[in-house]
Each structure stands twice: as structure tokens, then as C-alpha cells.
């Protein structure tokens, strides 16, 4: 008798525009998740470390860090969607829509917005919207994602599917943000705020790895079921890669001290350039692109961040001329980044793990 091996991820034979995929996971997030998260991803912003600061900002308790919500949104969708994809191409418009607290229960849904084969016909690109919903069926977090799959087996035009059950209603709600929450705060509590200036390039001094055991624990906790992130029997210990959401979270964490206090964050876009493996040292640099005073109490800072791997940023970058092309707001293709590094900054060739442009909300004083 021969056994059958279950298959997970999106079935390209039945995939349709408009199709909604529900994650099988429903997770109540308790305070142990916060302890685990902050032991790996350091933060200097008081909102997610101080109960008193959080309450002064209008929250009932310390809120769940936005990076945790982003990773739940992504990882919960691996089993029904991305476990069968080749590459994660990038994220856009990732934002928190409602406050989230420890003790809340979360589910995720994925909607296929478009899918088509590449011009060469050797692969397909699928655009999706991912959302995270709490126990009250409120949309808490949302993002858009681009993924690279095997070619669609049937390249003919396929009629879109119209989902008629309750899942579709989660995608019909207008996108919200936390700005309205902070508009009601008359005065923010005293806290150290790092002064920022448009045009400044910050070399964040922190470099730290995501260890082998940490990667396994996080992949398990967040239900990232793709074996490339944990199955060393199949991929070999050297073949294990850290998932993109964890890489992005560590990149941003290494620079948090220099941009504190962060109240809210919108990821405009991000993409991964070079693979990160457990034990790679992760650091970052950020260029402040724009600072906008949106009220007498709040400012919005737009910055471009490059995540670097195995670079001692303080020693290696302090006197290095970094091409401005790498630090513009618009994303570059991986080939453009590597060509620019090869021609103008060979010290960074093969060392840029990811690029991201984001907008953060901070108190002005």
C-alpha cells in the first residue's frame, strides 16, 4: 500500500480572480507572544513597552506591535496560499486599521486580485490582498502582496469568481488607519524623541541575527508552514531561509532607536533582494525623505530603509559613499540594485537583503 502526500498552497488549476481563501488557523494571542517577540525584535518606542505610556495614548493596555500583526497576516496565509509559490516579490500598503490587544483572537483571509503568466510564459505573478480579522469580525490589519508562481496551466481568460458568503464582506470595508485614534489625544506623555531632518542618512549601529532556534520557534508560533523555513531534513541546514516578514521586522527593529517614538506605521512598499539565513547578522540604514507636520502634536516621517546582511555598519559604512539611487523612494528591481552596487558601491554587492519605503507617525515633541 502506498500513501498519499497532502498538498498545500494555492491550486493553480482552480485559482480565479476574486477567489477568497480562508486560513484554517484561529489564534488567541496572549502576553507570552509579546515576550517572545520582544526578545527577538528590540524596540525603543514606549507604546509597545509601557502600560502607562499606552494608556496616556488612549489604549486600554499595551497594544500588539504592528510587526506582529503583519506577520500573522502573512504567515496564517501560507498554508492555503503561498506554500506553493516560488518567490515572495513584495508588499504594498501594509497598515493597521484598528487597535489590537493581547487576548484578542485572529483569523486571516486572502483575496486574489489578479493573476497572469509572465510574457515569457515560464511563471505567473499573482496579486493578492491579505487581511487579519479579530473575534468581532473587525478588520485589524491589511496589506497587498505580489507573488511569483509556476505558470498557470490554463492561460485562457478565466471568468472571475464572485464570492457570495460572509468572507467577501471583509474586503468591502473601506481601509482605515489609526490617525483618527491619535487625533483625540490632546497631549502625548513625555518621552525621548530623536530629532530627524529631511535628507539625513542614518547608519543604524545595531546589527543582530535571527538565530536558528529563534527562527524555528517563530515559524512554529506564527504558523508559517512552508518547509523551506524549518525543514532541514529536506533542504539541509544551509538551505533554510528566514521568511520575509521576520527579515523585515528585524531590519526595522535594528533602526528603532534612531526614529523613536513610533505611534503608527504604514508600509508603502517593500521587497526582498538577497536571501537571509538563520545566524546572518542584520543591520540597516535609513534616509529621511520627508517630514510633514500634520497637526500641532503629530508629524509624519517618510523614510527609505535598506536592510543589510553581514555588514558591520558602524565600521564599514561610516566613511562609505552610498549611491543616492539606492535611497530614493521608488523601489528598484533586484538587478538594478546589484548593478548599481557593482558599479558604484561594490562593498554592498550581494549584501542588501531588502528595501522598504514607509511612513511613520510620531509625536512632534
pTM attached to this predicted model: 0.95
CB 269 within 8 A of CB 90: yes
145 beta partners: 91, 128
3-state class (DSSP) for residue 344:
helix
In sequence order, which ranges of the chain are alpha helices (DSSP H)?
31-40, 51-56, 66-75, 179-183, 212-221, 232-235, 244-254, 256-259, 313-316, 334-344
User: What CATH number is given for 201-363 in this structure?
Assistant: 3.10.129.10
CA 26, 129, 328: angle at the middle one, nearest 5? Answer: 125
**pLDDT number for residue 164:** 54
196: Cβ contacts below 8 Å, ≥ 6 apart? 259, 288, 291, 301
CA-nearest of 364, 327, 26 to 191 is 364
**pLDDT number for residue 194:** 87
CA-nearest of 335, 317, 228 to 277 is 228
Averaged over successive runs of 10 residues, the pLDDT of the chain (365 residues) comes to 95 94 97 96 96 95 97 97 92 96 97 93 95 96 96 72 74 83 89 94 97 96 96 94 97 97 97 97 98 94 98 95 95 96 97 98 93
CA 338, distance to chain mean position in Å, is 22
DSSP string across 107-155: EEEEEEEEEEE-TTSS-EEEEEEEEEE-TTS-EEEEEEEEEEESPPS--
Please give the CATH superfamily to which domain 20-29+64-176 belongs: Hotdog Thioesterase (3.10.129.10)
User: Residue ranges of the domains in the chain?
Assistant: 20-29+64-176, 201-363
CB 113 within 8 A of CB 173: no
CB 182 within 8 A of CB 135: no
The 8-class DSSP code of residue 63 comes to B
Q: Is it true that the peptide bond before 261 is cis, omega within 30 degrees of 0? A: yes
How many whole angstroms separate alpha carbon 232 and alpha carbon 211? 14
Amino acid at each position: 500500500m502506498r500513501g498519499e502526500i497532502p498538498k498545500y498552497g494555492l491550486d493553480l488549476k482552480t485559482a480565479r480572480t476574486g477567489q477568497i481563501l480562508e486560513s484554517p488557523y484561529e489564534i488567541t494571542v496572549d502576553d507570552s507572544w509579546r515576550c517572545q517577540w520582544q526578545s527577538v525584535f528590540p524596540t525603543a518606542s514606549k507604546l509597545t513597552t509601557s502600560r502607562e505610556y499606552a494608556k496616556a495614548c488612549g489604549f486600554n493596555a499595551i497594544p500588539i506591535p504592528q510587526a506582529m500583526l503583519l506577520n500573522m497576516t502573512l504567515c496564517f496565509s501560507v498554508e492555503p496560499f503561498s506554500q506553493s509559490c516560488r518567490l515572495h516579490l513584495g508588499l504594498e500598503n501594509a497598515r493597521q486599521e484598528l487597535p489590537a490587544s493581547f487576548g484578542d483572537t485572529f483569523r486571516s483571509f486572502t483575496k486574489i486580485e489578479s493573476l497572469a503568466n509572465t510574457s515569457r510564459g515560464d511563471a505567473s505573478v499573482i496579486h493578492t490582498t491579505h487581511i487579519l480579522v479579530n473575534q468581532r469580525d473587525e478588520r485589524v490589519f491589511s496589506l497587498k502582496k505580489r507573488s511569483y508562481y509556476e505558470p498557470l496551466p490554463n492561460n485562457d481568460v478565466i471568468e472571475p469568481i464572485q464570492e457570495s458568503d460572509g468572507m467577501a464582506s471583509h474586503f468591502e470595508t473601506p481601509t482605515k488607519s489609526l490617525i483618527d485614534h491619535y487625533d483625540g489625544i490632546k497631549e502625548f506623555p513625555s518621552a525621548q524623541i530623536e530629532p530627524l531632518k529631511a535628507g539625513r542618512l542614518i547608519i543604524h549601529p545595531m546589527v543582530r541575527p535571527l538565530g536558528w532556534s529563534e527562527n524555528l520557534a517563530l515559524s512554529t508560533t506564527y504558523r508559517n508552514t512552508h518547509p523551506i523555513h524549518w525543514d532541514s531534513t529536506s533542504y539541509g541546514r544551509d538551505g533554510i531561509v528566514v521568511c520575509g516578514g521576520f527579515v523585515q521586522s528585524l531590519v526595522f527593529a535594528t533602526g528603532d532607536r534612531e526614529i523613536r517614538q513610533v505611534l503608527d506605521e504604514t508600509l508603502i512598499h517593500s521587497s526582498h533582494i538577497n536571501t537571509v539565513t538563520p545566524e546572518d547578522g542584520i543591520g540597516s540604514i535609513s534616509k529621511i525623505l520627508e517630514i510633514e507636520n500634520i497637526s500641532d502634536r503629530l508629524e509624519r516621517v517618510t523614510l527609505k530603509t535598506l536592510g543589510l546582511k553581514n555588514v558591520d555598519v558602524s565600521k564599514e559604512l561610516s566613511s562609505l559613499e552610498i549611491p543616492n539611487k539606492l535611497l530614493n523612494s521608488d523601489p528598484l528591481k533586484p538587478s538594478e540594485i546589484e548593478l548599481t552596487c557593482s558599479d558604484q558601491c561594490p562593498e554592498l554587492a550581494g549584501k542588501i537583503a531588502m528595501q522598504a519605503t514607509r511612513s511613520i507617525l510620531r509625536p512632534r515633541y
